[in-house]
């Protein structure tokens, strides 16, 4: 049983990381599109611009207020549920994508171990 919990938590952690990387990639894509002269959504670019940093130099931030998240704000699933899906600082709704990605990855990891 403990094996499934640990594997599920690992899956949720990797799902959380994958979600953060998706937002960072989108931010970089908008910058590249703008440089290429393509029309970009300025509101989205402004919202995601704090995410345009190297992974090693970047910390996770609220996409609404830009507040740098603490380690306990990043605990997969638990922090989302504890905050009722809202940022602890500005109370903006985080979104369903993050929690669903964490839960799906956790489920896939547990299912893969259960099949062994």
Q: What is the pLDDT of residue 116?
A: 80
H or E stretch including 61?
A: none
Q: What is the pLDDT of residue 4?
A: 96
Confirm if 47 and 26 have CB atoms less than 8 A apart.
Answer: no
Q: CA 106: distance to chain centroid?
A: 14
Q: Name the residue range of residue 79's domain.
A: 2-114
Residue 86 confidence (pLDDT) above 90: yes
Condensed to tens digits (0 to 9), the pLDDT of residues 27-81 reads 889 988 989 998 988 888 888 877 777 666 678 888 888 888 999 999 999 999 9
Give CA–CA dist 85/61, Å, rounded: 15
Number of domains in the chain: 1
Give CA–CA dist 79/113, Å, rounded: 25
Work out whether the CA dihedral 39, 41, 46, 49 comes out positive or negative.
negative
Q: What is the pLDDT of residue 60?
A: 85
Q: What is the pLDDT of residue 85?
A: 94
């Amino acid at each position: 049983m403990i094996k499934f919990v640990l594997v599920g938590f690992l899956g949720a952690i990797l799902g959380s990381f994958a979600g953060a990387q998706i937002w960072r990639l989108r931010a970089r894509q908008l910058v590249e599109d703008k440089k290429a002269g393509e029309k970009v959504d300025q509101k989205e670019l402004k919202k995601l611009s704090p995410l345009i940093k190297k992974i090693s130099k970047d910390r996770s931030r609220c996409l609404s207020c830009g507040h740098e998240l603490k380690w306990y704000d990043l605990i997969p699933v638990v922090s989302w549920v504890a905050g009722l899906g809202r940022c602890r600082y500005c109370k903006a709704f985080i979104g369903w994508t993050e929690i669903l990605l964490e839960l799906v990855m956790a489920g896939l990891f547990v299912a893969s171990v259960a099949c062994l």
